Structure 1
C-alpha cells in the first residue's frame, strides 16, 4: 500500500538521524516515563500524525520521528544505551548499520492492521464531564492536577479473569465454539434446528476453572490515576479537552476517551465573564460619586488597575477600560473590562450634615427651611 512512498520514508528516516532530536521530547514525555507511558504516547501521536489522517505539511516527517523514538525507547537495551550515550551510542551499538524499522510496518504491528483497520477497532464509551476552574485560572492559565477513578485491566491475570493460563478451559457445553445447536420439534417427524449463544460460557467458548484472586474473576480492578489539565489563558467556556484512552479499560474493547468541558466556577459577586469581556462592580459613596475619586482594583492575576474619576458618577454608570478583559484564546490580545458603579447613600444624616447639604444645594437663605 505504501510502496510508492518507500523512498520518501527512507529519506525522511535519514533526515531524522542526521537532525536527531530528543526522543523523549518527540513523544512528549519525561526521561522517567514508564513503558506504559511510552506505549500510550506512541499510540496517541502516531494516530494523530499518520499520513492517512493528517494531510498537514510535515505530518509524515513527524510520523517517522515518532516511530523512531518509539522503536528506541520501547526497547530496554536501546533505551539504556540512548540514555547514557545518545544517538551516537546507538549507531555504535548497531555497528554503524543504522537499520530502522519501516514506520508503517511498526504502526500496523502495534495496532494489529493498517490505519483503516484500527479505525474499526471496538472502542469503549467516551466519558464527558464538566470541569470547573476558577476564573483567575482561565484568565492567566494554569496547570491543575486532579485524580480520576476508572477500571484498568487486572495486572495479575492480564484481563483473563483466571488465576493462571492453565485455569482457562474450552467450554464443554459448546466445545469452544460459543454456540449451541438446538433442535425443536415442529410436529411429529419434523424438527427445526437453530443456533443459540452458549449459556454456559456466554458465547466466549471458554470457561474459567479458578478465578483470579486479585480481581475475583472480574478482569478489571479500580484504579485512581493522576492527571493534569492544562488551562490556557482565555480558554472559552465549555472548551473540550480530550484525554485519549483515559476511559475504562476492558479485555473486550480499547479504552475510550475522557472529555473535560472546562468552565469557570460560579462565584457570588466579584468578577464576571462574557466571552472576552470582564465585568466588575465597584461600590462608592455619595461624596465620591459627586466629587470624584481614585481607586485601585486588583485584577485576576494580581496586577493593579488605577481608576481616577473626575466629577459626578451616576449610579449604574459603566466605565470601559480597553484591553483589561479576558485574553483572546491563543492570541496576544485582550478584550475589555467594564466597571459598573454602585452608589451607596447613608442610612441617616446628622442635623449638621443636613444643614450643610441644604446650604450647598439651596443656598444660605434656605438654611431655616425644613430642607430635604
Structure 2
C-alpha cells in the first residue's frame, strides 16, 4: 500500500500509473505552470518537477511508496525501525544513509526544476513525452537517477531533441557622429530575467570603434533573458544608429561641410577658419570669385576607415552663396556699371 499519495496528486495520476502516464502528466503540468506561461506558478512548477524526478525513478518511487517523501529525498529517519534505510542498529544513535546528496537531503530548488525542464527538451517536448534509454526504469538511465545529486546532468538518454538556438534581441544604440569619429565606450544598464524567474540588472559596456557606421551590429551572447528551452540566455544585439549632426553630413567614409558666403565674399574673396570633428582648425580662403555649389576636397580629413587602420576618408567643403533678396537703385547701378 502506498504510504503517501501527494506526488501522484500533484501530477494528477493514480499510484498505479505507468511510466508513460507519468511522463505525459509531467509534460502537461510543466507546460501549464512554467513561469514563462500566462498560467505560470513558480512554486507549483518546482513541486511538479520534484514529483516527476522521484516518480520517474524506479528506486526513488519505491522508497517514496513505502516510506514517504522525506525518505525519497534522502532524509531517512534513523528512529524508524520499520525503515530499512534507518540506522544500522535501528536506534536513534545509529548511522544514517542519505540518497539525495549531502546529509539532510537538501530541498528541491527552482534551479533544479528549470534544469530538469531544460534537460527534458523544454517547450519542444513532444505529446508523448520523450524517448528514453531502455536500460532502466528511470528516464535518467539507471536506478541511480541523477547519480546522487539533484540538478546534475542526466545519463542514459536515448534520442533527445536538439536544443534550439537562443533568440537574438536587437536594440538600437544612438551614437553621435563625434563618437563615431573618435570612438568611445557606452555603458548600458539592462534588465534581464534569470532561470528562476526573478529579474536583475546588469551593466554592459559597448566599445564603439572609430569609423563604425549606422547598421553596425554588436552581439553579446548569453546576456539577455534566460531561455529554459535553450538552457542559456538570449543574445543581445545592439545596432548602431548615427545621430544627425548639425554641421557635418556623412557619406560613407567622407564628410561634407557647407560654408555659406555673402554675395560680396563670393565676388571679392574671403578668409575663414573651419573646425573639423576632432577639433582642428583649418584655414580656407579665396581671392577670386567663387561659383555657388563649388566644392573643395581635403583628403584624409574625413571619417576613420574601420577596416583600414590609419586610413581616412575625405572632407568636402561646399560653398553656398547668400544672395540678397533685394537691391537699392544705387546697388543696381553699380552692378550694371561694373559687369
Return the TM-score normalized by structure 1: 0.45
**Structure (1 or 2) with the greater helix fraction:** 1
Higher RCO structure (Cα 8 Å, ≥6 apart): 1
Return the TM-score normalized by structure 2: 0.49
**Structure (1 or 2) with the greater strand fraction:** 1
